[in-house]
């Protein structure tokens, strides 16, 4: 079973997202846990969540991959932004327990001049202050393209963060194909080599989800510009090899391509028609 979906608007609640996903042929999806401008997140509605959980069961949904707001930066040089980010993280952990057992993906952050080591320390401190042994959500660090002072464009940096987190069993990694490519990992000509490197440095069992995107840029560009499948510099065939790779094919794949509903629906059916069941 291929678990594939896309990033969906969340303002109308869980049931609306579930129905939207089904209408696109998706059986997982991503969504922002709150308005990226921050402030208080919308009150969650238990009836809405229960109706969604039933729909997800009826349609054999895979794990959801919630996305933290882009404004979260746990390693900002500014203490008030760090505090705002830690509060959002803690609040999101509480809220996600209403839809148990899913994934929560976040960008490790940008150290903005503080240096990678200090940034990594701050990210790990925030996770250690927040993660609880009883939580059912797995928190995923997203591998980044390496724009500006972004942390997490190298497997070694992701590994160093994991090393410093106490509750490692609550942690995982989400790889984004556009980010990998723009970070310099050659997933077009050497997918096996990239996965071997990931396994050697981090451990393949930490890999929990894939963001499936083409890229507007050449390998190593460090710009982070997503493109629709087949319209970028990665191309359709390498992405089809990714969804079929024995070490990846059971993971949830999330499209974050610049698309409308019709475009997402087309990309989902393109991937489904090129997926081999195991
Ligand atoms: Fe992301
Ligand atoms: Fe992504
Ligand atoms: Zn991106």
From 111, 185, 226, 227, active-site residue: 226
- Between the CA of 224 and the centroid of ligand 3 the distance, in Å, is 5
pLDDT score recorded for residue 44:
84
So what's the pLDDT on residue 244? Answer: 98
**Residue 149 near residue 157 (C-beta atoms within 8 A):** no
Active site residue 211: yes
Residue 32: count other Cβ atoms within 10 Å of its Cβ.
Answer: 17
Give yes or no: 179 in active site. yes
Measure 176 CA to ligand 2 centroid, in angstroms: 5
111 is catalytic: no
Calculate how far, in angstroms, residue 150's C-alpha sits from the geometric centre of ligand 2: 13
Residue 57: the pLDDT is 98
Q: How far is CA 12 from the centre of its chain?
A: 21
Q: What is the pLDDT of residue 51?
A: 98
* Span from the CA of 179 to the centroid of ligand 3 (angstroms): 6
For the ranges 28-42, 155-169, 180-194, 197-211, the lowest mean pLDDT is seen at: 28-42
39 pLDDT band, cuts 50/70/90, is low
Cα–ligand 3 centroid distance for 255 (angstroms): 11
Exactly one of 20, 86, 95, 107 is catalytic; which is it? 107
The span from the CA of 110 to the CA of 43, in Å, is: 29
pLDDT tens sequence across 122-137: 999 999 999 999 999 9
pLDDT at 94: 96
When pLDDT is cut at 50, 70 and 90, the band that residue 41 belongs to is confident
Average pLDDT score, the chain: 96
Structure tokens at 62: 């895979």
Cα of 99 from ligand 2 centre, angstroms = 21
Which residue among the candidates 7, 20, 34, 67 is catalytic per the annotation? 67
Neighbours of ion ligand 1 (CB under 5 A): 142
Determine the Cα–Cα distance for residues 264 and 25; give it in Å rounded to an integer. Answer: 9
Q: How many angstroms separate the alpha carbon of residue 63 from the centre of ligand 2?
A: 16
What confidence score (pLDDT) does residue 38 get? 63
pLDDT at 165 over 80: yes
Give the per-residue pLDDT at 34: 87
- Clarify whether 59 is annotated catalytic: no
Of the candidates 211, 214, 227, 267, the residue annotated as catalytic is 211
Burial 73-108 (b: 16+ CB within 10 A, else e): bbbbbeeebbebbbebbeebbebbeebeebbbbbbb
Q: Which pLDDT band, with edges at 50, 70 and 90, does 237 fall under?
A: very high
Is residue 40 scored above 80 in pLDDT?
A: no
Residues with CB under 5 A from ligand 3 (ion): 224
Task: Please check the confidence at residue 228 and state whether its pLDDT lies above 90.
Answer: yes
Going from the Cα of 117 to the center of ligand 3, the distance in angstroms, rounded, reads 23
Q: Is 142 a catalytic site residue?
A: yes
| Residue 58 neighbours by CB under 8 Å, 6+ apart | none
pTM: 0.97
Q: How far is the CA of 34 from the centre of ligand 3 (A)?
A: 18
The DSSP code for 169 is: G
Per-residue pLDDT at 278: 74
The percent of residues above 70 in pLDDT, for the chain, comes to: 99
Distance in angstroms (rounded) separating the CA atoms of residues 3 and 253: 6
Instruction: Give the closest ligand to the alpha carbon of residue 175.
Output: 2
Average pLDDT of span 33-49: 81
Q: pLDDT of 62-92, one tens digit each?
A: 999 999 999 999 999 999 999 999 999 999 9
């Amino acid at each position: 079973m291929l678990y594939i979906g896309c990033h969906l608007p969340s303002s109308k609640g869980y049931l609306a997202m579930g129905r939207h996903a089904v209408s696109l042929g998706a059986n997982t999806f991503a969504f922002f846990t709150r308005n990226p401008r921050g402030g208080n997140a919308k009150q969650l509605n238990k009836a809405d969540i229960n109706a969604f959980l039933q729909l997800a069961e009826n349609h054999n949904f895979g794990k959801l991959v919630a996305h933290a707001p882009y404004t979260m930066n746990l390693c900002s040089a500014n203490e008030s932004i760090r505090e705002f980010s830690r509060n959002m993280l803690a609040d999101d952990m509480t809220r996600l327990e209403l839809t148990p057992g899913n994934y929560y993906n976040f960008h490790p952050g940008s150290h903005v001049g503080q240096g990678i080591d200090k940034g990594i320390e701050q990210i790990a401190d925030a996770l250690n202050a927040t993660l609880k042994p009883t939580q059912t959500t797995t928190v995923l660090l997203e591998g980044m393209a390496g724009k500006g002072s972004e942390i997490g464009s190298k497997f070694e940096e992701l590994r160093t963060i994991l090393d410093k987190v106490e509750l490692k069993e609550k942690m995982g990694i989400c790889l984004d194909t556009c980010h990998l490519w723009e970070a310099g990992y050659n997933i077009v000509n050497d997918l096996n080599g990239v996965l071997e490197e990931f396994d050697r440095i981090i451990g393949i069992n930490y890999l929990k989800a894939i963001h499936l995107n083409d890229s507007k840029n050449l390998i190593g560009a460090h710009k982070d510009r997503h493109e629709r499948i087949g319209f970028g510099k990665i191309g359709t065939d390498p992405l089809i090899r990714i969804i079929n790779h024995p070490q990846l094919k059971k993971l949830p794949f999330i499209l974050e391509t610049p698309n409308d509903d019709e475009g997402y629906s087309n990309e989902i059916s393109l991937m489904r028609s090129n997926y081999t069941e195991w």
